Each structure stands twice: as C-alpha cells, then as structure tokens.
Amino acid sequence: AQSVTQLGSHVSVSEGALVLLRCNYSSSVPPYLFWYVQYPNQGLQLLLKYTTGATLVKGINGFEAEFKKSETSFHLTKPSAHMSDAAEYFCAVSASPMKTSYDKVIFGPGTSLSVIP
C-alpha cells in the first residue's frame, strides 16, 4: 500500500524567495514519484517526475525535486519564487514498475502556495 503526506496545506513566500514544498511517501515497493501543479479551476499539469536513475529531477518552470530514499521524501524546490507560481501543488506516488494500468496513482492532499509581492 502507498500513501503520501504533504507538510503544510498552505505555504506563503515572498517573491524572489526560495520555494520549498514538502512531500513524504510510504511505499512497500520502489516508487514512482510525481509533482503536479493546478491553477484555479483548471486540471493538473505535470511539473516533474522520478522513475529511475538520477535522484535530482528537474522540471518545468525552474522547479526541481530530489528523491531521498533514506528519508522517504521528494521535496519540491525553486530557488526564486515568481508571482505566477501561486497555485496548488500535489505530490503523488505509484508503484514501480507499473505492471498493469490498474496500478493506481495516490495523490497527497495538496499544498497551496501563495507568493507575496
């Protein structure tokens, strides 16, 4: 069974400051890990994902995340926040490898990011 926790339902940062959104997972098998972003009244868009290989993953819009197996974490960071980064962010986990399409993706509760001018 898999689960995801996101520490902090709301995070506020100043424009230009570091963005750090926390994600911890639980998985009995090697995980695939994802970060999605959702703007108001829109669907989810993939920011980045970890499947295999390099543990530091770079995504779109300057975001990156590091898979730390020992800490069961996949925190999302961005060096300098921009006003356009204000959105809801979801961390997700699924089984690796996906043996069937019935392997579900489990989503965390989300973190709402506010950027203060």
Partner 1 sequence: DGGITQSPKYLFRKEGQNVTLSCEQNLNHDAMYWYRQDPGQGLRLIYYSQIVNDFQKGDIAEGYSVSREKKESFPLTVTSAQKNPTAFYLCASRRGLDYIGADTQYFGPGTRLTVL
Where do contacts with partner 1 occur on this chain (CB under 8 A)?
Answer: 4, 9, 32, 34, 36, 41-46, 49, 51, 90, 94, 96, 98-102, 104-105, 107-110
C-alpha span between 76 and 23 (Å, rounded): 8
The residue (of 6 and 73) whose beta carbon lies closer to partner 1 is 6
The residue (of 53 and 117) whose beta carbon lies closer to partner 1 is 53
Q: For the chain, where are the E strands, in sequence order?
A: 3-5, 10-14, 19-21, 24-26, 31-38, 44-50, 56-58, 64-68, 73-78, 87-95, 106-107, 111-116
The residue (of 54 and 102) whose beta carbon lies closer to partner 1 is 102
The residue (of 14 and 45) whose beta carbon lies closer to partner 1 is 45
Q: What are phi and psi of 104, to 5 degrees?
A: -85, 155
3-state secondary structure at position 85: helix
8 A C-beta contact, residue 44 and residue 35: no
**Least distance to partner 1, CB of residue 70, Å:** 23
